[in-house]
Chain A
Amino acid sequence: MKFTFEPEQFAFRDAVRRFLVVEAVPEVLRAFWETQSGRSPEMRAKVTDQGLTALSVPEAFGGMGLNDLDWILILQELGYHGIPESLSDSAYLGVDILRNLPDGVALKKEWLERIAAGKARIAVGHPVNPFVADAAIADLLLLWHDDEVHATTPDAVKLTLQPSLDQSRRLYRVEWQPSAATRVCDAATGAPIWRDACDRAALSVASQLRGLAKRMLDLGVDYSAQRKQFGRPVGSFQALKHHLANVAVAVEFAGPVIHRAAYSMAHGHPQRAAHVSHARVVAGEAAWLAARNSMQAHGAMGYTWETDLQMFMKHAWALDSAWGTRAFHKSRVTAAVLADGMALGPGATFI
């Protein structure tokens, strides 16, 4: 039993963090978000140089063959820096669906290689979400239809943009006709693929939300150290210390829950869905608390468009309903806990 990451996993996380600190500063993100696509090809090229697009593509297809545990720390960094979900959708989620397709499927090799090389964006549509993020700029759309996997392209479907409060999001209603030509695999093959893909997507959201919570916490701590009222930093007032300390506790305790869920996904644990949902619930709670309390620490400044905090708050509020609302995930935890024969109590945490 050893509940920690390997030194290489931390080292990779740190490298990604150093990269994002320089390349993904809030002014740069704001500039991307004001464009129509909301995305930047230059940024994607840099991300590819960091190896992020190849992370979980199997080695046979030009990738690094890494798994959920390698992703999980990176996903938190993506959240912390407000990197839009499209990277996770392509390189984590899209790859997951493609690599689990039977080897005979023609598009599997082509697209895995393209993703690894940073040459493809994937958007994924599943009924757990009413909309598909980044559908217009995707090179390939992977869509659910009665548990089958279908593949198509944006020009073959009808897209309706749904403007979001979160400027980083590009959501679309997708109307399309499933056909033999779009079908990639049947329902029997597709059902387990979709099950795990949805859980991975939710896990990704959880880790991003925790990163967002940490970012908002850091912004609140920084601001309250600099802002002076009554002749001293507002952070010296106990009320604000307690607000931010409460966020720190929530962020801290979400970590191991998320990391265990990643382990469960990587190892096909029978309770992985409940573990992911547990992670989603606590990460969502931490992110909302962080938004509220950091906003409060900022005073009126937190209510402005100018402050960076708003970018992260809005991203957190929006993401909390992606790939299942918090209510949906709470209901899955509830069902697991109340199920007959569920192993509960001391000694039942691991198997």
Chain B
Amino acid sequence: MEAELREKAKELLGSGEIGVVIGFGWNKRKTRTTPVFITKAEDTDKLVFNAYCVNNLSVYLTRKYPDVKAMGKAAIVAKGCDIKNLAVMIAEGQFKRDDTYIIGMTCSGVGYKQELIEANGGELKPEIMPVKCHNCDVRNPHISDAVIGETTDFTPPEEPVGMVFDKIKQIEAMDAKGRFGFWEEHFSRCIKCYACRQVCSLCYCDRCITDKNTPQWIDSSAHARGNFSWNLVRAMHLTGRCTFCGECERACPVNIPLNVINKKMAVVMEDAFDHRSGYDPEVHPPMIVFDIENDKEEFIK
């Protein structure tokens, strides 16, 4: 699979059509993979693909990285789940489908955290896979220019399984006070480092609303009010858009269960709008779309 990937990258860089291949490469000790930006055909051997490749590289195609954009047309190594983000970005006009070459990787799951795989002697066991992998329906990439790897045969369970779903049920069973207490406790740890925002390819705004100060919309203090403001705004701004790639929770240094918020909002969106994000690059996320014709509610018409 890696050989095939390197071959493809070589071919793309050689053709002159592609300026940079964004992919995964080993760190020095081969205990982690990190993003690599290959611009020369002779460097393509640095590309790897394995269970350590948990990062969602789509963030490097956002306006947050003008230096990557300056390298020319990009080819990106992407798992099915990463492609979902690309689809949302295309739907939201961040780039055109033709502007990026998608090297879709067939996938049999990754580790939730790279250190867990390392601790496991480099082996991927189901226990250390994130919830998204257990329920994955895009192990064979759904949108791509080339697919690398053999078609995998995996049917996700009909009812999604995993800790996140258990937690959602648990929280739903609480009363309002209990729920508020649950989140208050978690949000109280937030240190406003904005790592969740930085790692998210759908938090691509040039200037985040939290950074707007004329006037100041969001209280930026790292106290209860500011923490709630930020976390609620983050959740709302990603509703109907978040693809549940899990990068924010992975990046969070104080372990706020962001996956739970994100998934809950996704479930709400599916119920309300029949929408699952990341599957169709032609469909703008529905939260704010003015669409009288297809609205389910009569009163609005």
The answer on A and B forming one complex is: no
